Chains A and B, each alone.
Chain A
Amino acid sequence: MKLKSLFSTMALVAGLGLSVPAEAVKLKFKTPEKAPASDEAGAILSVAGVMPSAVLEMTDEPGTWFRDPTDGDALVVVKPGEAVLIKMTDVNAEHTITSLIWQPGAKDFPVDQDKPSTASVTVKFDKPGLYVFTCKVHPYMFGAVIVDDPKTEGLDLGREIQLVTGARVPTTSDIAKKLLRTFFVVTTPSLWRDYTKPVWEVNLPDIPLNLGGTVVSLSALSVSVPNEVFKPKVPGVGEVWVNTQFEKIAGKDKPGSATQLDTATWTIRKKVKGVRIDMNHPHNMWTDRAYRYIYQTEWFDKRLTTFDRKSGDIYSVVTVGQDPSHVITRPGTDTLYVAINGEDRVAKLSPGRNHNLLGSIKVGDHAGPHGHWISDDGKYMVTPNALAAGVSVVDLDSERVTEIPTGGVIPIAVGIRPQGDYAYVANLLGTPPMLASMSVIDLKTKKKIKDIDLAADYDPVSGKTKGPAYGLLPIQTPVSPDGKYVVTANTLSATISIIDTATNRVIKQLPCDPGAHGVEFGFKKGGGYYAYVASKFSNVLTVVDMDTLEIAGRVLLADPTDPDITALNGYGGQGVLPLPLVFHGWLGDTLELSGTGKLDPEVEAWLRELTPEQKGI
């Protein structure tokens, strides 16, 4: 079978034991028991429904979030007229089953479950070509179906693909190649970028692919890039927490840890793994004003976990709702606001070791809020409503909600200028017809004033660029504490976009890693800021100097000396939390505690290192 040889070859290339049992391969050829159509004699009047020829089981396993039970990979090959059952098997949270890519004109497409659940679907395919499924809540869970007409040469990908963004592009285009390579990298952990090795090799096997008549080899998508890890010359102030969300830990069923980096030495201090509670996909963090606690969301679960910043001891685990994504506190009150990504609300919790649920703010029907933000003055909260093509602005005093439709596809993260005037909203899948976009929201008028085309300088067919705007699939997008720049991690192009807020234009594009995801600012020693960027499918943290707008360093998040890490060491970089917090609303609350004895001596030392400009004086 072509597919199976593809994967066993890939496994050989990658030196991994992804071996496929011969029986599993043979089984694909067995003809299942066929039910008769209506019997001529009239004795049997029933008509059988479809029998799935393949299954994709959704799991919490990094890489194989859609798993073929016969061989464990994330891709099945069927023939035209056959059906695939997609079901949720090994998951703790609710998901959607949604078409990301499909064949133009395919019957009953696109598939889209409008809100998260545990519901399965049986999908029948009439048209040969490539189909990719994802979850709208966790939009890097990928599973693919190739509907291959056995009469044609090579695996049929089709002449064109339809993207959920509304774009329809030839399979020979640069964007299609990027998506295909990304699919193989994302779903094959052995192909993730490993900075403990000198070179990143994505070696794809010589499998013929039929792009609507043009036959090319999958190996044409192979890449080889040198890896360089280097520490920034100027130390930072304090520490950076990074959610290494895919790390596999001994004694846990579910993956993930929080990695604490010391920015004075750029070395790992510890990893909080949550073995006792089986911490599941730790995604995003925040802290209290005294920096005693780390509040940790578990995105593929229902929980918010609170642990001690210094000791890593876990204090509390609170069930808050489906797929809690981000947590942030309100300057002035220290109250927690947790975005419940699988639902339509933000949960409000009391601060401290343990939490009381203080209330819930419904931000819109089926909203699915993901990476929300609160203005420096604590007045407004802005939620990007991933499942509702818009944002909500919440007045935190009255809890009045204003929904603003933006037309963005999967609005995923928000940054707010410290001046409190504009919010920047990254639309993961663009604003049709833009492939990648950032909506600018005026917080006073509560209106969208602009969509910045993040890929304005990119030709999706040829791949040519004519300027710095070529970022694709933007995720986290904070505004620098001086309000000058928006820094955005682009997960598909593996780049970092820097937007000048004076002109709302992309002024710089920096190289990053596959699955670039989390961004946050931290203090640079002696003045200025660093932007820290974490990537899901690499094991480093990229450091950007905000004075020069250049890469200042790449720091390894893997700890090869840790015997408890069984696989995917340092991978899954998502939420980033530098301490001290740079934004003045929060920093001010902490500075007020300075000298009162309520701060740890270590925190007091960090605050002493800050320049007056950094303190906002």
Chain B
Amino acid sequence: MQIRFLLLTILLGIVPPLQAAVHRITLRAVPMPSGQLAYQMVRHQVEDGGRTEDRTGQYASGPTIPGPAIVLTEGDTAYVTLEHGIEGSDLPVSLHVHGVHYPFDSDGTTKVLNGVADHAAFPGKPYTYEWIAAPGTAGTWMYHDHAFGDPKVGAEDKGLFGTLIVNPRSGRVPALIDGKLTQVNLRDVKREFILWMHETTFWGQEINHIVNRQIPLWTNPIVGAREGELVRFHVIGIGTAFHTFHLHGHRWIEPGTTHVVDTVNIGPISRTSFVVRAGEGVGPGDWHYHCHVIQHMQSGMMGKFRVVPRQ
């Protein structure tokens, strides 16, 4: 049905012909030394046009908060298998994904919620989810647990959350560059910074396209780029608190609009994604980023966007 839909869109000329890739991913939910829980990448293979690429080495070798950032392109399908690695617990753990399409049994909820079955991994019993990055699903999304703990509504608060980025088939995103609304080619974006806003902490991660690796940045990090580089921020909320994400010295376009902003409201499971040119018009420096809710700032919810001079 999905293929038929894609064919239809191709016939209508909505998108260019697809070379839809199939991703085969294995994640594991494990405890952190601190007692928090986290997702860890076990394997990521991509089948595309008869070739198979192994991307496992691009991820951190251990568990991270946020979990591994999974990057798809509109049209791709991912089969994501979750393994239960939470020692000492036989409670189910799952993946519930936002934004993309999936069949009902990939909802990642428990029978208590969905009335049918536990879409979850148990010790020794992995569970596989099908995620379909259908046309129209481009954007920054989140996946998180929806099963662990008592009363089985999920342990996202303990660290079981991660990022799903669906890039548009066109490969282009709008951005405000040199004061003009421009279509930026994502191939020209060298660094992507993921910042999750949880309670009073930013949990960070970098996708570095120069060395082709994901780097865990943990709490309230310094994210760094070279002046003039195109960088893409993904800012996502989780938990119960409402935040206002503010980055000093930079402005961007509110997605889907022509509004120029430098602060975005971020509630639980709401998100924004934008491209800026590092230091544009303002030059190098340690540009502050923070939550603008005073109480959150006072609790240390801040970091720096370090723009180093051009080489």
Q: Taking the nearest CB of chain A, how far is it from the CB of B162, in angstroms?
A: 14
B199 CB within 8 Å of chain A: yes
Decide if A35 touches B218 in the complex (CB within 8 Å): yes
Residues of B within 8 A of A39 (CB): 211
The answer to whether residues A28 and B33 also contact, given A47-B224, A52-B219, A119-B299 and a CB cut-off of 8 A, is yes
- The minimal Cβ–Cβ distance linking B149 to chain A, given in whole angstroms, is 10
Q: How far is the CA of A50 from the CA of B216 in the complex (A)?
A: 11
Closest to B204 in A: A49
A12-54 interface bits toward B, Cβ cutoff 8 Å, 1 = contact, 0 = none: 0000000001011001101011011011001111111111111
Using known A-B contacts A118-B199, A120-B299, determine if residue A45 contacts B34 with beta carbons closer than 8 Å.
no
Q: Considering residues B211, B215, B308, which has the most beta carbons from chain A within 10 angstroms of its beta carbon?
A: B215
CB <8 Å contact, B32 and A32:
yes
Could you say which interface size class chain A belongs to? 35 or more
Knowing A33-B64, A43-B210, the reply to whether A48 touches B35 (Cβ < 8 A) is: no
Question: By the criterion CB–CB under 8 Å, are B299 and A45 in contact?
Answer: no
Contact B217 A85 (CB under 8 A): no
For the complex, what is the distance from the CA of A24 to the CA of B36, rounded to whole Å?
Answer: 12
Question: Does B178 belong to the interface (CB within 8 Å)?
Answer: no
Interface of B is mostly: mixed
Neighbouring A residues of B199 by C-beta, 8 Å: 87, 118-120
Query: Is A46 touching B60 in the complex (CB atoms < 8 A)?
Result: no
Given A43-B210, A53-B33: A119 and B219 interface contact (C-beta under 8 Å) = no
- Could you tell me the distance between the alpha carbons of A118 and B157 in the complex, rounded to whole angstroms? 13
Contact code string B177-194 (vs A, CB < 8 Å = 1, else 0): 000000000000001010
Do A48 and B221 touch (CB < 8 A)? yes
| Per-position binary interface string of chain A over residues 139-152, scored 1 when its CB falls under 8 Å from any chain B CB and 0 otherwise | 00000000000000
Q: Which residue of A lies closest to B217 (CB)?
A: A48
Given contacts A30-B33, A45-B308, A49-B204, contact A121 B218 (CB under 8 A): no
Q: A69–B89 Cα gap in the complex (Å)?
A: 13
Contact B200 A46 (CB under 8 A): no
- A53: chain B residues at CB < 8 Å are 33-34
For window 215-245 of A, CB contacts with B under 8 Å fall at none
B33 touches A122 (CB 8 A): no
At the interface, yes or no: B220 with Cβ under 8 Å from chain A?
Answer: yes
Cα distance, A51 to B202, chains bound together (Å): 11
Contacting pair B88 A52 (CB below 8 A):
no
Contact flags B47-73 to A (C-beta < 8 A → 1, else 0): 000000000000011111000000000
A55 CA to B87 CA, complexed, in Å:
18
| Docked CA distance A54–B300 (Å) | 18
Residue B101 lies at the interface, judged by CB distance under 8 Å to chain A: no
Chain B residues near A89: list those with CB within 8 A: 157
Q: Beyond A38-B224, A69-B36, is A46–B217 a contact (Cβ under 8 Å)? A: yes
Contact A33 B241 (CB under 8 A): no
**Proximity string of chain A (81-106) to chain B, C-beta cutoff 8 Å, 1 when within and 0 when not:** 00111010100000000000000000
Query: In whole angstroms, what is the CA distance A87 to B311 when docked?
Result: 42
A85 to B301, CA, bound (A): 13
Given contacts A52-B34, A54-B35, contact A46 B222 (CB under 8 A): yes
> A residues within 8 Å of B by Cβ?
21, 23-24, 27-28, 30, 32-33, 35-36, 38-39, 42-55, 68-70, 83-85, 87, 89, 113-115, 117-122
**Which 7 pairs of residues, A with B, have the shortest CB-CB distance?**
A45-B224, A69-B35, A33-B62, A23-B87, A70-B35, A47-B222, A51-B218
